[in-house]
Structure 1
Amino acid sequence: MGDVLLTAEVVLGALIALLLLTIVWIAIRRWLITRDQLMILMARRRGDFWVMGMARTKPDVIEWFPILGLGLRPKWTLVREEVEFGPPMPMDRRPGVIQEPVLVDCTCGDQDQQIVVGRPDYTQLRSWSESSPPGFNSSRS
């Protein structure tokens, strides 16, 4: 009986340690993804449900990372020259914690996607897509 109890304690301890390591990695991952970059809370439609994520804005691309993912590579990338955002539409069902959510049709190349962002974030996405990259219109040679 003592061996079974010891084995159960070791297994339970390993599971708790794995859970804690996963939580710590998710926190470190968020820090690695977000440092020195502007982030937007954005949900993408996948089938009949919404997947919450963080979108990192860079001068030439927007990179989308799922909130609960473990990897450091983006799962979806929007290239400035190829992306087109549709008009904001009101939402009947709110996904998650997005404040003032609007539904937006997004086309990037040959890929169509529906996203949900907050109204202020939609304005930022729209102006990002319609402006030229930093330094492109610079008068410096």
Structure 2
Amino acid sequence: MGGVVQSAELALAVLGGVLLLAVAWLWLRRRWLSRAGATFSCSLRRTATTPSSRWVLGVARYREHELQWFPSFSLSLWPRLRFDRTDVRVRDQRRPSTEEAGLLFDADRIIALDGPRGEVELAMAAESLTGLLSWLEAAPPGMRYRLSPASPD
């Protein structure tokens, strides 16, 4: 009987250690993401037209000419999605519906973006939304509309 108790205690200790390492990794990952660019909390839904699509809690950051999105509960250091400033167009913004309000943070605003991979919705605080819209509109001259090379005469 004593061997079974020791095995159970060992299994619980190993499980506790794994959970502690996972939580520590998520905390360190978030700090690393914050050091590499301006970050903000940002939930994502791939498409509004698919009823089964769900909101995924995440973090977004600005890096040069792209917005990078990372799921909050992932161990990866690489962004799951990238939105190039030149390829993204804002479709509309809205407040969460009553069904969505329970899934998102209080006072989140939802913005729909059209890009090369289709429609994506992002939910974020109003201040973050203002920052995102400013970032999109503040593209350097010539970045949004690239001129084709001049034709020879």
The answer to whether 1:59 aligns with 2:80 is no
Count of residue correspondences: 134
After superposition, the CA RMSD in angstroms is: 1.9
Cα distance per residue 1:66-98 (max 9 Å; x no partner) = 11111101011100110112232122232332x
Aligned to 2:19: 19
Q: TM-score, normalised by structure 2?
A: 0.79
Offset of 1:41 from its aligned partner?
A: 1.3
Aligned-residue offset at 1:36? 4.5
Q: Which has the higher strand share?
A: 1
CA distance in 1: counterparts of 2:53 and 2:83, whole angstroms: 22
Tell me the CA shift for residue 18 of structure 1: 0.6
Unaligned stretches of 5+ in structure 2?
47-51, 144-153
Asked if 1:105 corresponds to 2:112, the answer is: yes
CA distance in 2, matches of 1:132, 1:7: 60
Structure 2 counterpart of 1:131, which letter?
A: A
Identity %: 27
Q: Which residue of 2 aligns with 1:139?
A: none
**1:133–1:69 distance in 2 versus 1, CA, 3 Å:** farther
The equivalent residue for 2:8 is 8
Tell whether the 8 Å contact from 1:60 to 1:133 is kept in structure 2 after alignment. no
User: Structure 2: how far apart are the matches of 1:110 and 1:65?
Assistant: 17
Counterpart contact for 2:33–2:39, Cα < 8 Å: no
Q: 1:110 to 1:5 in 2, by over 3 A?
A: closer
How many Å separate the matches in 2 of 1:12 and 1:121? 41
**Kept in 1: contact 2:104–2:123 (CA 8 A):** no
| 1:110 Cα offset (Å) | 3.6
**Which stretch of structure 1 is more off in the superposition, 16-25 or 84-93?**
84-93
| 1:38-49 paired onto structure 2 within 5 Å | 38-46=38-46, 47-49=52-54
Aligned partner letter, 1:41: S
8 Å Cα contact 1:59-1:133 kept in structure 2: no
Shift of 1:64: 0.5
The corresponding residue for 2:94 is: 89
Counterpart CA distance in 2 for 1:109 and 1:36 is 25
Supply the distance in 2 between the matched residues of 1:87 and 1:48 (Cα, whole angstroms). 19
Q: CA deviation at 1:40?
A: 1.9
Shift of 1:114: 1.4
